[in-house]
Amino acid sequence: MNKDVIYIEPEDDITDIITKIENSKEKIIALVPPKKASVFRSIVNIKLIAKAGVNASKTVVLVTTDPSIVKLAGVTKLPVTKNLQSAPVVPESDAAEEIETTSEETVIEAAGETEEEVAETIEEEAKPEAEEKGDKEEKSETEEKKEEEKAEKEPKEKKKVKKSTGNWLVDHKKWLIFGGIGAVVLVLILVWAFGIAPAADVTVAVRTTTTNFSESATFTNNLAEENVAEGKFYLTEKKIENKTDLEFEATGKKNVGEKATGSVVIYAYFTERGTRSIEEGATFANNGLKFVADDSASLSWDGTDVSKCENSGQASAFTSGCLISGRVSVTASAPGEQYNIAAASTGWTTTANVGVYSDSAMAGGSDKTVTIVQQSDIEAALAKVVDENASTESARKAQLMNTIEDGSFVIESSYKEKLSDPVSSPKVGEEVEEGKKATLSVVTTDSIYIIDKTKVEEFISEKAKLADNYKIYEMNDPFIENFTAVGEGYIGKIKTSFVSGPKVAENDVIEVIKGKGLGEARAALLDAFSGIDSNKTKINVSYPWVFSIPSNPTKITVTIEVEE
């Protein structure tokens, strides 16, 4: 069986070495480290090399005589050989020098191989070493016997009583060393006990009162008008938009068939010069069916030319006047077969100052009924959107609140919801394709006003008018009452309650008590800060032997307790 010899370069790291092991095609791999191979001086790396060999089902052998590498190989049970011609062995973990004597020929099998397969590969190379190994084993046994005899004699020699040298310092050197160490330890204990360990934990109980607050304020959308001192605050509007697309059934019906067309004859009798006109869009009716003039027309007579009169030479020309007629194209006002009517000399009416009749039939009208969107359909769909908005209002309001930054004061009563004008597709009066539904689109806008919370608290603090040595310890969330639109702005009343009491700061407490005795420090606290509770103000020290407050501020912990 062949083996693969891999020479490791000084710049190779553990990853490079493992990669070379995995990429080798041989079952036995001899790794030859360079002279200064730092990567082989780590027990972790040696273990990784051994594990890589097992995972790859290969036997990895280190070719080295470096004692430190040999020792690490012994810990990980990784075979080592001093050169490529020697048989590999697993060195004893506590005797690195055994690589030179090769005291035992122990070969580690690679995963999937037997000892016989490895032995066949190195059998010829190992024979000379085996003979040398036997000689060294005999020498090793002799040396072990000598060591045992020497060990039996040593206890007897040690039992001999050591005689005094006559020099007290030499004879008591051990006790002097122990005494010196004890003195140092004692000094360290004293330094710790009185210099490091002392610490104080001070609790100051401040008596406070709760005060209700109510002040009128105005609010504006114009930043330039803001004046916190006067209680005028700038409003910022926060809003979100949510679009709703709601499908609905259209219920309207419409006849979109063809309209009947034809023409009518218009006429007039003139007794004098004149003109009678028919405007485009003029209406003609027959038995309730309306027809509309497609274009304009006019009838006129100059009052003298009798030849132009259609009734010239007839008696009617003298009794009724000069007859003038014309023809006007008309179209039915609506589609439908009912407009296909026959010619009729009577039954026609018109809004124009002319007579009318038809001398030919109206034709081309047809019926075709389709579904259309009507206004009542849109109103019903919009009502559903309103109901849906009512059920999702809290979720939308939460979504709106999530857009508001920290440090903002929200005017809850300013919240409002606004719906855009509904848009129908198809529009009112338009056809809805068969098998489909119409869609109503509505945008819901949720909005709310906010103001700067810091400015509100500043206004409250200013209006509270506390004494210089008092401060506000806690303020409940303010709210606006009666937020009402007035002109281009709003008015309302800011309401809250706050807890106020004597001004006591941690640094001030430390300055008053540091370096003082416990009793003196307590008295100094009560004198320096009025309004603190003497029964609940406490000073605790770290250890029973500590009777004063440390001078070092970092050794003093102050807790301010606010009580109502």
- Looking up tokens 């810990």 gives 75
DSSP states along 324-392: EEEEEEEEESS-SGGG-----SSSEEESSSSEEE-SS--B-----EEEEB-HHHHHHHHHHHHHHHHHH
Task: Give the pLDDT mean for 348-354.
Answer: 91
Calculate mean pLDDT across residues 27-39: 85
Do the Cβ atoms of 412 and 479 come closer than 8 Å?
yes
Taking 90 as the threshold, does the pLDDT of residue 140 lie above it?
no
Cβ–Cβ < 8 Å for 448, 388: no
Q: What is the DSSP secondary-structure string of 481-507?
A: EEEEEETTEEEEEEEEEEEEEE---HH
Q: Nearest Cα to 413, choosing from 235, 180, 271?
A: 235
CA 505 to chain centre: 39
294: exposed, middle or buried (Cβ count in 10 Å: 0-12, 13-18, 19+): middle
pLDDT higher than 90, residue 285: yes
Mean pLDDT (whole number) for 252-268: 94
> Which residue type occupies 38?
S
Query: Phi and psi at residue 552, in whole multiples of 5°?
Result: -80, 115
The pLDDT of residue 317 is 75
d(CA 39, CA 17): 9
Peptide bond into 155 cis (omega under 30): no
Higher local confidence (pLDDT), 259 or 115: 259
Q: How far is CA 53 from CA 33, 47, 193, 253, 396, in A?
A: 16, 10, 58, 86, 63
Side-chain half-sphere exposure of 386, counting CA atoms within 13 A = 10
* Phi, psi (deg, nearest 5) at residue 453: -65, -35
Max mean pLDDT among 104-108, 372-376, 504-508 falls in 372-376
The type of residue at 232 is K
Mean pLDDT, range 302-325, rounded to an integer: 87
358 by DSSP, 3-state: which?
coil
Helical pair 67-76 and 43-55, crossing angle rounded to 10 deg? 50
pLDDT of residue 190: 62
pLDDT band of residue 443 (cuts 50, 70, 90) is very high
> According to the per-residue pLDDT averaged within each range, which of 120-134, 455-469, 537-551 is highest?
455-469
Stretch 536-562: mean pLDDT, rounded?
81
Share of the chain above pLDDT 90, in %: 39
* Mean pLDDT of all residues in 366-389: 94
| pLDDT band of 129, cuts 50, 70, 90 | very low
Query: Tokens standing for 1?
Result: 């069986």
Amino acid at 334: A
- Please report the pLDDT score of residue 135 as a whole number: 46
Order the strands of the 200-207 sheet from edge to edge: 538-541, 200-207, 556-563
Which of 99-108, 157-166, 475-484 has the lowest average pLDDT? 99-108
Task: Report d(CA 429, CA 433) in Å as an integer.
Answer: 13
How are beta strands 59-63 and 28-32 bridged, if at all? parallel
Asked whether the CA dihedral 268, 271, 276, 282 is positive or negative, the reply is negative
What value does the mean pLDDT of the chain take? Answer: 82
Q: For position 193, what pLDDT does the model report?
A: 56
Which pTM does this prediction carry?
A: 0.49
Where residue 77 falls among pLDDT bands split at 50, 70, 90? confident
pLDDT on residue 163: 53
Whole-angstrom distance, CA of residue 357 vs CA of residue 346 = 6
Closest CA to 62 of 36, 86, 44: 86
Task: Count Cβ atoms below 10 Å from residue 222 Cβ, excluding itself.
Answer: 11
Q: Is the pLDDT of residue 509 over 90?
A: no
pLDDT at 158 over 80: no
> β-strand 3-7 against 28-32: which pairing, if any?
parallel
> How many Cβ atoms from other residues are within 10 Å of residue 215's Cβ?
14
